[in-house]
Chain A
């Protein structure tokens, strides 16, 4: 695949592809027809396994394996599409929902066929009222033409797709909190095991996949697993949407093979940093993963390489911060986000995020002390590894990584009694 051939962001090439007509003109729903007519459900699962597709929501878990965990016995099963796209700097799912909704629905339908589900939920974050409306229109269009609803393509299969709007909580992007929320409960993560594949929505086997993951299913089915696994790296296969934002000339979504370097993304596709300023830090996965520095520009953006560099690829929302950005300010901003979004279920995250933000506030405004820096690290220790779900672990990343790489900036805040980069205007 050339870098310009897009299989996800197809609205860039065919702007009206959100309509069923255009989608069909571009070969839409052929993969679904192929799946239900020429493949058994198990064959679909094997095909997805063979492609090497890993979840695009952040964790990178092999999708085919996840589908394979769903028991074969009868009874209701569910497919849940996670469209609670809430990671700061992440805006890829939104573009799929708005620009290419039928491809997502086709992927959902194939997944439902593979695992034997007759009901699917698309859980959209509360702010996605617009995209959800577009998706609902697509659902009606598809159902009217027999791609969804009862008796899909004359096969006797059915699938009801329910578009569900959340109530505005970051934690509901965590799959079990998302399930709680659909069930009408407070969005808080569940204990695992059992995993959703065994006991998920309403206690039934459930596949939870990200929008981008499911949207990749139709091209995989249509073109075959070999096509897919030829793209990317050895362990991180296929194309990926990278959300580029921050101090770059051309922020936006870029669909590129996994393994593309930060440098290529930022400088070739993103047009570099405005004013040619130097890069100070890169957040590879929104607020949730440790920040990297300009030293890491040549790291390849695949799951393994970013991990080796001490961070996580996550949902690949790359936020660039140039040399004018204060790292204490950035950490505080992110910590306030986590403080606000901590669901409150477990003690270390609920209380710890509050104190991280509180101590950072003092440091940023120049009223902190040198010991506050170690206090921050100590609180991170109290949180990290001791929390109920990954949110708490994520919440320590901005603090520990910014101190690791930029401790001198923290010290300068204390010594100067103000932010050295913002002329005391903090």
Chain B
């Protein structure tokens, strides 16, 4: 048999062909035969411990020369193994015979179940797993009707044992299959669970501090084959069979994990993963699982608000829409459409963002539109630019990459399930190179980690390119311009300018040679520093341009930043990246039956400056908290104060919403029908599972209402109609016209990439000034965002605000671990505890972004790049 070829075997008399290397249990499934399992899980390494899958296995009898002996009838003679074998650990071979339903196998399976049940409490009536419990189901199919061990004694443990705030362990129910411990070790990469003690007294323990310290802990509940692990969220909340289960797409990060939202009596009761091999396989992070409580939070906006005599007061939809329209009309009539601007959202659906820009362009007549409030408003200057607005490759292709290069950010906190895929690729042999000033979780596990000064990513990449070129082994010749530009990236200069260790750069460059597929995961902040062009150079130079495993994913904030971009929530690009001004704009004017402004408008910063200066008077803000997140707080503040009209459409009374004049309560994902585009460019549909809360409405309805109040129309805003329109106008989105496949639809009409090598240039920001400390503000998974803070379970996991300082800097400031320091910002000097750690380089500090009571934008001077702050010791 050739390796990876097919082998054919017989399962209970049925012939089936499977790839060589397949496990017997999977081969049987292929043949339509179920072999019962507990410890076996297709995504975990088999351990063969529960013994539930014992079957009879035979192989053809071979002569010395390797030929198969035959019996009297001419059929291959089979030698059955003397003992039953575990199907989960047996790899199939040509001619193998599996008998799964023989008396011996049935007897063994019955015996295993009988034994398992003897130490099981059989408290199914009050067990949360009841109704979807493999132990129940397999007992029904394979188990004995009654026990022969009627001793009136059960195995008792105190129950339950909390494993941190999210997960509870019931040791009486545990059958010690080790799925949870293996998941944590093999998939999550957080080996914080283990078996302790032995025999019948063996139990699962968590030995991390805090307990069960893993962002993926909830998955162990799903894969637990009994009710031993339950989630604090769902425990005793509902019976599984009472739930109405609807598909959804996770609204917390751009990975777009697929969910099943279980609802009962109009409330979300449980979130579990929905299998999508292309995106999340069958895993989700604990944020996606436990942060759904904001949907029914008491703090949700329930009715429209209108500012009267200086304060926001509840109003009817009619009043609010009327007030918004009147305000908008007045400004347009008096100051012209260019006095109006809109800021869209990286969280709302494609449909909402599409209609938003349509309202502003076609109805209000302005191109002052943007969605980028946290930076990222400079277009990457590349030939064929817009093609790079769209990610290249697919999440699953990361596994095909010989090399994974992660630049900036903190994937483990910001896009955790993508991190799971990176870890999987690592286990399968991919190399990992991390370019990051901080020792993030990925940096710690990387083959090569190149720390550098904040903002120095381009220098590091230039250094790697230079080493590659100097090595002379690149499969593709560097372009003359690239070659020339690399003269300025000598190891010495790179070391001096960005603090990158030449040895680490050299080791990384060697690793890139012949990397066989290059997955590039680059954080938005690093993109902003100008990384895209050198990264494309690396891909091109290493000959990886056309490799199946080559991906380029920009990692942006929000859950639908790609959708917002694709939908043209830009001042200078129409939906589908149609540049302005340009002849292509006519199509849109025709489709929308409107005169469109032809000149590009202003981006977020321009809008806010213009508003502060009085040139722009009306702001329409959808799903964006500008005051909390725009890096230049004072500019945002003065803009909001100066605007004569601020319309806000949101879920909560955010800082920005509090300053608005008209407030519309919006209905989020799970209450509306929308599509979202994830970081690989996969368009996924998320249908409604709940009614909109209170008097809230979908973004589409609100936008249509405003248009109507203005005496205009956005056309039908029924989800299907909007999608049909998007399908026509946005290249790559034709699939949204019909029903999207369950697994979503990757951009189908991708342009051929031009992997043009362009020169690398030192960015201006890399010139380091000695003044103050460079501020790194990477996200944490459990931050103080409105969507997390409403889930009590998660708030207990939220970190205290802290500033991480290098020991050397701590010494010069004169602080010890735990001392309070003042961050001297333009707007006050917030104090917070210092943590002294080698996690950051000298001269840089880390303050996790968006922690409670700590709006970072009050501390920074708003520089577009690495911000610098001053620190001093606070009085004790």
Q: Is A370 an interface residue (CB 8 A)?
A: no
A contact residues around B201 at 8 Å (CB): 344
A-B contact pairs, 20 of them (CB 8 A): A186-B194, A186-B198, A187-B198, A339-B200, A343-B198, A344-B199, A345-B176, A347-B49, A348-B115, A350-B176, A351-B119, A352-B115, A353-B199, A354-B200, A382-B111, A382-B112, A382-B115, A385-B84, A386-B111, A387-B51
Q: Is A3 an interface residue (CB 8 A)?
A: no
Q: Is A105 an interface residue (CB 8 A)?
A: no
Interface residue total, chain A, C-beta cutoff 8 A: 31
State whether B176 touches A355 (Cβ < 8 A): no
Q: Is A358 an interface residue (CB 8 A)?
A: yes
State whether B198 touches A191 (Cβ < 8 A): no
Q: Which of A187, A191, A344 contacts B176 (CB 8 A)?
A: A344
Known A-B contacts A344-B176, A346-B50; the reply to A385 vs B196 at CB < 8 A is no
Query: 8 Å CB contacts to B: which residues of A380-415?
Result: 381-382, 385-388
Q: Is B766 an interface residue (CB 8 A)?
A: no
State whether B148 touches A388 (Cβ < 8 A): no
Q: Is A342 an interface residue (CB 8 A)?
A: yes
Interface string of A345-373 (1 = CB under 8 A from B): 11110111111001000000000000000
B contact residues around A169 at 8 Å (CB): 198
Distance to closest chain A CB from B198 (angstroms): 5
Query: 8 Å CB contacts to A: which residues of B174-233?
Result: 175-176, 194-202
Main secondary structure of the interface of A (DSSP, over half): helix
- Per the bound structure, the CA–CA distance linking A388 and B52 in Å amounts to 12
Interface residue total, chain B, C-beta cutoff 8 A: 35
- Per the bound structure, the CA–CA distance linking A351 and B148 in Å amounts to 13
Query: 8 Å CB contacts to B: which residues of A235-291?
Result: none
Q: Is A375 an interface residue (CB 8 A)?
A: yes
State whether A351 touches B198 (Cβ < 8 A): no
State whether A350 touches B202 (Cβ < 8 A): yes
Q: Is A11 an interface residue (CB 8 A)?
A: no
Q: Is B739 an interface residue (CB 8 A)?
A: no
- Per the bound structure, the CA–CA distance linking A385 and B107 in Å amounts to 12
State whether A388 touches B199 (Cβ < 8 A): no
State whether A191 touches B48 (Cβ < 8 A): yes
Interface string of A178-221 (1 = CB under 8 A from B): 00000000111001000000000000000000000000000000
Q: Is B20 an interface residue (CB 8 A)?
A: no
B contact residues around A388 at 8 Å (CB): 48-49, 51
Query: 8 Å CB contacts to B: which residues of A163-178?
Result: 169, 171
**Chain B residue, CB-CB nearest to A362:** B151
State whether B54 touches A386 (Cβ < 8 A): yes
Known A-B contacts A186-B194, A186-B195; the reply to A344 vs B200 at CB < 8 A is yes
Q: Is A98 an interface residue (CB 8 A)?
A: no
Q: Which 8 pairs, one residue from A and one from B, show the smallest C-beta to C-beta distance?
A: A382-B111, A344-B202, A351-B115, A385-B83, A342-B199, A344-B199, A346-B49, A344-B198
- Per the bound structure, the CA–CA distance linking A345 and B107 in Å amounts to 21
Q: Is A341 an interface residue (CB 8 A)?
A: yes
Q: Is B89 an interface residue (CB 8 A)?
A: yes
State whether B89 touches A386 (Cβ < 8 A): no
- Per the bound structure, the CA–CA distance linking A339 and B115 in Å amounts to 14
State whether A386 touches B151 (Cβ < 8 A): no
State whether B51 touches A347 (Cβ < 8 A): yes
- Per the bound structure, the CA–CA distance linking A347 and B120 in Å amounts to 12
State whether A381 touches B111 (Cβ < 8 A): yes
Q: Is A340 an interface residue (CB 8 A)?
A: yes
**Chain A residue, CB-CB nearest to B155:** A354
**Chain B residue, CB-CB nearest to A186:** B195
Distance to closest chain A CB from B365 (angstroms): 68
State whether A341 touches B199 (Cβ < 8 A): yes
State whether A191 touches B51 (Cβ < 8 A): no
- Per the bound structure, the CA–CA distance linking A4 and B806 in Å amounts to 73
- Per the bound structure, the CA–CA distance linking A186 and B185 in Å amounts to 14
**Chain A residue, CB-CB nearest to B197:** A344
- Per the bound structure, the CA–CA distance linking A187 and B175 in Å amounts to 18
A contact residues around B241 at 8 Å (CB): none
Distance to closest chain B CB from A6 (angstroms): 38
Distance to closest chain B CB from A377 (angstroms): 12
Q: Is B149 an interface residue (CB 8 A)?
A: yes
Interface string of B55-89 (1 = CB under 8 A from A): 00000000000000000000000000011100001
